[in-house]
Structure 1
Amino acid sequence: MKVKVGDVVVPGDIVDDISGVKTETKCILGPGLRRYSENVIVCKSGIIRKKNPNTYWVDGHQRRYIPVRGESVVGVVVNKSVEIFKVDIGASEFASLSYTAFEGATKKNRPDVKLGDVLFAKLKVASMDMEAELECVDSRGKQAGMGVVADDGFLFTCSINVVRKILSPKCPLLKTLGREVPHEIAVGMNGKVWLKARTTKETIALMNAILAVEYISNEETNAMCAKIVKSLQRRDQEGICELKMPR
């Protein structure tokens, strides 16, 4: 069945908008689309989306992550050998991470990475026929915020749809809460989020806000953020009053 941008699709559908387009016209195919001969075939259920000028993908609700080259992910170190670490990024198989894929790392100067550590990394290799490979440096060999994150944060999993929404420039969640509730956050395109706020209450409130944003509009998100900030401020004031009360 032939479909176009905005249609609900299922695996096997042919995207009419870009099938048969000349190879000279550059088209970027995102998650859910594969090119076979002259046709672009849908390989997962969802809605066809387009970002100008020529980027197409299938927007669907999923929890199993399919590695895509260049995407930033959050993972947990589950195994280590002589040359590589094995990292769980929520895909069908563990990803590999070389000891030398860190800023300033050499065979003699190895990074201090332990089993169970949470990593923020970027996918260097991602293919259906090859094992996913990670790196913790940018194109200039710099750390750029990647590597092992702090031990005292909180790691949780959400749907990939939530991640795409909160990272969208149109979503006010992270910007609004960032002004009122100081925190550190690492958001992976694989649906894993690492979060650290000043207190446990603030961390839980931020996590619940992220999980709730999937099915609400931007206006409702602003209202929810205001309610969360007001609630946290009230609890802080009550705590201060309790400390000042004489015995």
Structure 2
Amino acid sequence: MAAPVKERIGQVVLPGDVLLLPPSPREVESGLGLQLNTPAAGTRVVCGPGLRRHGETALLVSKCGLLRYKDPAVYWVHSQQKRYVPVKGDLVIGIVTTKSGDVFKVDIGGSEQAYLSYLAFEGATKRNRPNVQVGDLIYGQFIVANKDMEPELVCIDSCGRPNGMGVIGQDGLLFKVSLGLIRKLLTPHCDIIQDLSKVYPLEIVIGMNGRIWVKAKTVQQTLIVANLLEACEHLTAEQRKSVFARFSDM
């Protein structure tokens, strides 16, 4: 049964639920709806993960989780999802599994592997090919990601520059966390990353597909950093600061 989206914010929603959007100002003026005290009224609604449009006046839930809202009119479903679904523009960490001619196949943790051309690297030409081997870690961005086509990665931006993308060093540690924690770590000025950098100097690469690569000065410090990041998913802010303080005093 359909319910107003405002009433379901912060509650558990299930696949198939229909959420009614607030009426537009035109509908209110004509008497077709009721004025709602919400900033989403009359603004363009953005559907995040777990939601899709259902006609012009409703949203359809596609996965289980908590319904979240952010001004001015952004809705999404927060869940502890493990399986990644490719999205155009996402930056991900992949593992090269096959090297065949001009094409690399990359495992990105989804239902199928991604396609990566050897020309999708900075300065790559037919004579100057990138040095990429099976087993290498790749940090790249999706330029094609839909249900009808094979996902495609590139390691350059629109200006042909790597902008941090490419082959990742092999000395660090790769591990996997939930997609919910990834979104938290990628928020601007994330407290977790700032507090962690005060414990140990480190290098870190975060992929939207739930993979994290870290490297500290020693193997022991690298393992500690990985364990701290995994624990952050289940710690409050106060608990996290207390745990980080123990290692910063060592």
TM range (shorter): 0.7 to 0.9
1:216 aligns with 2:220: no
Q: What is the rounded CA distance, in whole Å, between the counterparts of 2:43 and 2:105 in structure 1?
A: 38
With normalisation by structure 1, the TM-score equals 0.86
CA deviation after TM superposition for structure 1 residue 71, in Å: 1.2
CA deviation after TM superposition for structure 1 residue 154, in Å: 0.8
Query: Which runs of 5 or more structure 1 residues have no equivalent in the other structure?
Result: 234-247
Select the residue among 102, 105, 110 that pairs with 2:129.
Answer: 110
Q: What is the rounded CA distance, in whole Å, between the counterparts of 1:102 and 1:166 in structure 2?
A: 27
Kept after mapping to 2: 8 A contact 1:95/1:131: yes
CA deviation after TM superposition for structure 1 residue 107, in Å: 2.3
Kept after mapping to 2: 8 A contact 1:18/1:40: no
With normalisation by structure 2, the TM-score equals 0.85
Letter in 2 for 1:31: P
Q: What is the rounded CA distance, in whole Å, between the counterparts of 1:103 and 1:20 in structure 2?
A: 47
2:53 is matched with 35
Q: What is the rounded CA distance, in whole Å, between the counterparts of 1:75 and 1:28 in structure 2?
A: 28
2:169 is matched with 150
CA deviation after TM superposition for structure 1 residue 170, in Å: 6.5
Kept after mapping to 2: 8 A contact 1:171/1:218: no
Identical positions, percent? 45
Deviations 1:43-98 (A, max 9, x none): 10011122222322111011100111111111100112222211111100001111
Select the residue among 4, 10, 19 that pairs with 1:6.
Answer: 10
Deviations 1:79-138 (A, max 9, x none): 122222111111000011111111111222211110000011111111122211111112
Pairing of 1:123-134 with structure 2 (within 5 A): 123-134=142-153
Q: What is the rounded CA distance, in whole Å, between the counterparts of 2:74 and 2:185 in structure 1?
A: 20
Q: What is the rounded CA distance, in whole Å, between the counterparts of 1:2 and 1:36 in structure 2?
A: 11
Deviations 1:25-45 (A, max 9, x none): 533222111224333211100
Letter in 1 for 2:49: P
- Cα distance change of structure 1 residues 83 and 158 upon mapping to structure 2, 3 Å threshold: same
- Cα distance change of structure 1 residues 128 and 143 upon mapping to structure 2, 3 Å threshold: same
Q: What is the rounded CA distance, in whole Å, between the counterparts of 1:18 and 1:160 in structure 2?
A: 29
Kept after mapping to 1: 8 A contact 2:199/2:244: no
State the secondary structure of the residue aligned to 1:80: strand
RMSD: 2.1
Pairing of 1:62-101 with structure 2 (within 5 A): 62-101=81-120
2:44 is matched with 26
Kept after mapping to 1: 8 A contact 2:198/2:248: no
Pairing of 1:178-197 with structure 2 (within 5 A): 178-197=197-216
Query: Which runs of 5 or more structure 2 residues have no equivalent in the other structure?
Result: 27-41
